[in-house]
Structure 1
Amino acid sequence: MPRRTRTLVPSLVAALVAAATSLTAAAGSGVKLDDLPAYTPSAPVEGTIRSYGFGLGGVYEKWQAAFAKHHPKVRFDNTLPTSDAAFPALVTRVTDLGPNGGEPAITETLSFFETRNYHASFVVVATGSFDVKSRSNGPVVFVHKDNPLAQLTIEQLDGIFGAERNGGMRGFEWTPSLARGAEGNIRTWGQLGLKGEWADKPIQTYGHAPSGTTRFFQLHVLGNTEKWNPNYKGYVETGSKMIAPEDAGQKLGIQHMLRHELVDDRYGIAWTIMSQAQGIDGIKPVALAPRGGGKAVAPSLASFRDRSYPLARNIYIYFDRAPGAALEPRFKEFLRFVLSRDGQQLVSDGDYLPLTAAMLREQLARLE
């Protein structure tokens, strides 16, 4: 059931401040934030900030509570049921800020553009977790433990999991430069340089069924298309609400696939998230190199945090800002707080990963 709209009043703000300051650091607690700038108010602001969308597991309201210590005349009107609510609220002008745990769907970006004739603005406010469940984990690629493969490029991932296409989506525009032919398909292990018994063996692909994580994979690997390898088998996160009641044994869950298919399939390859693969023996992760060239990087807490791993996920706040227009001062000031050491400490305490100093500077520049 969607969360009811809430307005944060001073007593609730005080309670949230106490919760934020007493929160015991968990998985993100080892991250040092000394290189990030502390928050310094630029000017007093007041008024109401409406937010509709994703609550970041409680982090969003902790940001607000901490911000209110600096700006007590600001009030918050929250409706935070899910990321899927952010863009409809922006399109219909019932929110000021749209926190979103992932990239919008084509229909969402198109709807906004059709009502405004310009694109929605955004800042990235956090990085998804490496392995903490339900914290926007980035995709990780796994193979059988006996597979000698150690690394792949994003282009090779496209060749393995994707299929030929006459274009690709950039935003909502079908773009011919994102096309690729059948010669880019990779269907045997020999095409990846494996020798001996592996050379002529067909590659069986596994991964997620439609979801926000799948949309991310399609965007960053498959040219934002639906062009999958014809043998692709899709599954959903074990233990999630996406498991159908008739699937009592969760055989269409990711963990069942990893334990009972990939573990028994020497010639298989799967992409999933680390929180679903924890504790499963017989498989190993593969290092990935970014599109266009670069060093292959193994998935880890450190490589997600420093963004060297090419499939780390973004957490966004979207907003409506006409080209050339100044951002409303109270919105800008709140986002400045989020993009400070203070705001990023709450990100880390909430089991997401804080932004790097370089990325933080890039996001702050978006507010100007």
Structure 2
Amino acid sequence: MMKNRLLTLFGAAALTLSVQASADVDPNLPDYERASGISGNLNSIGSDTLNNLMTLWAEEFNKFYPNVNVQIQGAGSSTAPPAITEGTASFAPMSREMRQSEIQSFEDRHGYPPYALPVAVDMLAVYVNKDNPIEGMTLPQVDAVFSATRRGGYHEDITRWGQLGLTGSWANRDFALYSRNAVSGTYGYFKDNALFGGDFKSSINEQPGSSSVVQGVTESINGIGYSGIGYVTSGVRAVPLARDEGDEFFEASAENAASGDYPLARYLYVYINKHPNRPLDPMTREFVKMLYSKVGQEVVHRDGYVPLPETVASRVRSELGVD
């Protein structure tokens, strides 16, 4: 599923990373060089998943441009489209692609669609408490744990750890389910790809941010939840996942995301307002150039996500005329 999406977006180059390039920053990415005359306000409104990344990028940008005032809000991906449509934000980070209705609203206002910058590859992880011994789960099992609809086809509702193969004191333990809330792009992605478009159980504990999900699982021995891999802590384990019964389990690693083997890998996006016949304003241009440079993708690696290869970065820079 993700393999096809990545191929559609950026061609085979996005998936043919070497192990080194997937785990580290591509040495072919350009260095970033400071431009003159950059100052003003840079506003970002959108994804909680990307909140850390946007903050780290802003810190790097301020090292080059100390006169730029940066404001970042990370309440959830659904807050990004109206912000960029109405012009209250120049950057709209999202952990999912914009829906067609959101694109249409922007186009109705501006006469052209927003531009999606793929900025990193994320792995959506299913987290359990660090003391949980489970070895792996299939996506239909994940669906049967979290959903009321079981569109993944698992033969029974899963309500106890013993149904996932755990024995002894674990066998009859119920789940404490932790989820993002509906404003989150991570919630929507998990619903579409792990629940096969189905509905969450009413017993889930909805959380306002990814760190809250991880904290809940950390504090509950029976906990299970999901968020981006960038929020992993020593209190939780990311469960290896398989697409179906009998398939190999793959850990949420950079190598497995780059190869397409990990089943819940996705692009993270930052949307911008780019007129098709006009250049970007200087500050947006330089921020975008920094994102697709060594320093920008080193931030991605440092925050626990998978950096983009130069093959993808150069294509975006060329399309935007920021080479």
- TM-score interval, smaller chain: 0.5 to 0.7
Partner of 1:222: 195
How far apart are the structure 2 equivalents of 1:254 and 1:61? 25
Q: Measured at CA, do residues 49 and 353 of structure 1 come closer, stay the same or move farther in structure 2, by a change above 3 Å?
A: farther
Corresponding residue to 1:355 among 282, 307, 319: 307
How far apart are the structure 2 equivalents of 1:337 and 1:254? 30
1:125 aligns with 2:119: yes
How far apart are the structure 2 equivalents of 1:113 and 1:184? 41
Q: Measured at CA, do residues 258 and 162 of structure 1 come closer, stay the same or move farther in structure 2, by a change above 3 Å?
A: same
1:345 aligns with 2:298: yes
- Secondary structure of residue in 2 paired with 1:318: strand
1:139 aligns with 2:131: no
Contact 2:42 2:71 in 1 (8 A): yes
Partner of 1:288: 241
Partner of 1:33: 25
What is the CA distance between 1:318 and its match in structure 2? 0.9
Contact 2:162 2:172 in 1 (8 A): no
How far apart are the structure 1 equivalents of 2:161 and 2:56? 47
Amino acid at match of 1:355: P
Using structure 1 for the length normalisation, give the TM-score.
0.54
Name structure 2 gaps, 5 residues minimum.
Answer: 1-22, 46-50
1:52 aligns with 2:43: yes
Number of equivalences: 281
How far apart are the structure 1 equivalents of 2:108 and 2:176? 37
Q: State the superposition RMSD in angstroms.
A: 5.0
Q: Show CA shifts across 1:270-299 (max 9, x none).
A: 44567877454xx854212359x9753213
Partner of 1:208: 179
1:93 aligns with 2:78: no
Partner of 2:16: none
Name structure 1 gaps, 5 residues minimum.
Answer: 1-30, 70-74, 129-136, 166-179, 241-252, 264-268
Using structure 2 for the length normalisation, give the TM-score.
0.60
How far apart are the structure 1 equivalents of 2:291 and 2:229? 27
Q: Measured at CA, do residues 219 and 290 of structure 1 come closer, stay the same or move farther in structure 2, by a change above 3 Å?
A: same
What is the CA distance between 1:216 and its match in structure 2? 4.1
Q: Show CA shifts across 1:221-267 (max 9, x none).
A: 23566x11344444566986xxxxxxxxxxxx75455544507xxxx
Q: Highest Rg: 1 or 2?
A: 1
How far apart are the structure 2 equivalents of 1:320 and 1:89? 11
Q: After the TM superposition, which residues 310-325 of structure 1 pair with which residues of structure 2 at under 5 Å, given as runs?
A: 310-312=263-265, 314-321=267-274, 325=277
What is the CA distance between 1:64 and its match in structure 2? 5.5
Q: Measured at CA, do residues 36 and 53 of structure 1 come closer, stay the same or move farther in structure 2, by a change above 3 Å?
A: same
1:298 aligns with 2:269: no
Task: Calculate percent identity across the aligned residue pairs.
Answer: 16
Contact 1:163 1:185 in 2 (8 A): no
How far apart are the structure 1 equivalents of 2:259 and 2:313? 12
